[in-house]
Chain A
Amino acid sequence: MTQSYEVFLGCSIPNRFNNYESSMRAVAEALDIELLDFDGASCCGTVVLKSIDETSWLALSGRNIALAGSRGHDIVTPCNGCFSSLKDVDHVLHSHEEHRRQVNATLKKLGLEFSGDVKIRHFVEVLYDLKDQIEDKIVHRLDGLKIAFHPGCHLIRPSPVAEFDDPELPRKVDELLELTGAQSVPWGLKLRCCGSPLLISSEEVATSILKEKMESAREAGADCVVTNCPACHTQFDVQVLGMKDDEGVSLELPALFVTQILGVAMGLDRERLGFDLNRVSLAPVAEKLGLQ
């Protein structure tokens, strides 16, 4: 059965990671997931706007949800930040009568209403539903590839809002990755924040958190880091460039999106998976991924 969603890209993916969008679309097509354009969307505001003014943040995501609702569609997003904004606002508007009234008063002037019956999902949630289908489509096995998978905070926490996986021992996306024959290795700081939300207030602290993460991934013997969020990916594929440990040894590890790993294992068009746009060199994993 075809699943159909309006796809909420947010602004970080089109700004920096078109390879994520492109690989997501390729995987979605192969699995018969219909992704409709999200016309008239605004940015989700993410934790940035929530930090500045919760009233505006509630209205902004309230509007995005109401827009999809007015067209009778559910929402899917490949970004943890957007996922969190949309889910969190949905949660607040469901549980706080007062906030809901206030948001609806604002939305009314735009001819919209938050009715609360739109489903909001992360793209990896949709993929998890289709696990069996994905397994059937694996044509290029990635045996021996050791992945440090980084779920990202807002995919799993706070769990009553995210409603996706065990917040202390998440397994779902790891299961998907392991369908390819790759191994999702345990690593000490796996659940630790990547630090990206701090790039706006202190790059220094954001960087020190990232350094700890990279040391942990290396210690676990990972060949690469895999994410499902453009904000986390900014840390692992951009901010990490040139990063060294205290002995001067490079801490860079190839950084890939979940959809690039699944796409390559499903034998999808390499061009659309966008490997040329990954910043950290993929050379150490090129052979295992069959990129050579």
Chain B
Amino acid sequence: MTETWGQLKSFEGKEFSTLDKNFTREASKLIGGQDLTACFQCAKCSAGCPVSDKVNVQVHELMRMLVFGLKEVLDTDMVWLCTTCYTCQERCPQGIDITDIIFGLKNMAFKEGKTPQGYIVSRKGLYDTGKLYEPTDWEREDLGLGDVPELDVEDTQKMFKDTGLMKLKEGDEE
């Protein structure tokens, strides 16, 4: 299967369509997006980022793309290779909630079907069972642990129907 994410491998020779002010505005409305345009490109975020040497587009470049309104940011590998470690957010001299913004970008990319397969599988598992992993019973018995308290799948599903978790993008089916 061809990867549907991380298509933007390099800025070299790349032409961007237009600077879309609306996209910057949209990104500013994400949780944590309020100070987005205060980024002054010091690159401190990238200096401490555990994947800086492993991605095509680093986090300070991702931030620049947001300020420039380049929607192609959703095609960078940085979006899904951000480990969510919050080091950048903790250290940004401008107090920008960088990691939270990246979470919002992941949401946007997911809606466009630009996501690692694992997330699609996990969403279904979570919806069907109310959890991401099943308990291992035999070990519990050996350690004298009781059963894990019952999970209420029904209520959780009702809630996800309300939030539309399984219908985030057109053509999604429950």
Contacts and interface: CB of A to CB of B under 8 A. Distances in A.
A51 B103 contact: yes
B131 A11 contact: yes
Interface string A39-75: 1111101111111111110011001000000000000
A200 interface: yes
Contact of B86 (A40, A153, A200, A277): A153
Contacts of B99: 158
A46 B103 CA distance: 12
Interface stretch (A18-26, A134-142, A237-245, A256-264): A18-26
B90 interface: yes
A51 to B, nearest CB: 4
A198 B81 contact: yes
Contacts of A14: 133, 135-136, 140, 148
A11 B84 contact: no
B155 interface: yes
A110 interface: yes
Contact of B140 (A18, A46, A48): A18
A54 B84 contact: no
A173 B119 CA distance: 33
A152 B86 CA distance: 11
Contacts of A167: 90
B168 interface: yes
A108 to B, nearest CB: 10
B148 A9 contact: yes
B159 to A, nearest CB: 5
A133 interface: no
B86 A158 contact: yes
Contacts of A195: 50, 83
A272 B143 CA distance: 6
B90 A42 contact: no
Consensus secondary structure, chain A interface? helix
Contact of B89 (A9, A12, A42, A158): A158
Interface residues of A, number: 63
A99 to B, nearest CB: 8
Interface stretch (A117-125, A202-210, A218-226, A283-291): A202-210
A157 B31 contact: no
B37 interface: no
A86 to B, nearest CB: 15
Contacts of B156: 42, 60, 63
B158 A12 contact: no
Nearest to A64: B156
A257 to B, nearest CB: 13
A197 B119 CA distance: 11
Interface in B102-146: 103-104, 106-107, 110, 115-116, 118-119, 122-123, 126, 130-136, 139-140, 143-145
Contact of A106 (B118, B148, B163): B163
Interface of B: 31, 50-51, 54, 80-81, 83-87, 89-90, 97, 99, 103-104, 106-107, 110, 115-116, 118-119, 122-123, 126, 130-136, 139-140, 143-145, 148-153, 155-156, 158-160, 162-165, 168
Given A38-B149, A43-B126, A46-B132, 8 more contacts: A9-B148, A14-B135, A40-B151, A45-B126, A52-B119, A56-B163, A157-B87, A159-B90
12 contacts: A42-B152, A45-B126, A52-B106, A52-B122, A52-B165, A56-B165, A157-B90, A158-B97, A191-B87, A201-B80, A205-B54, A209-B54
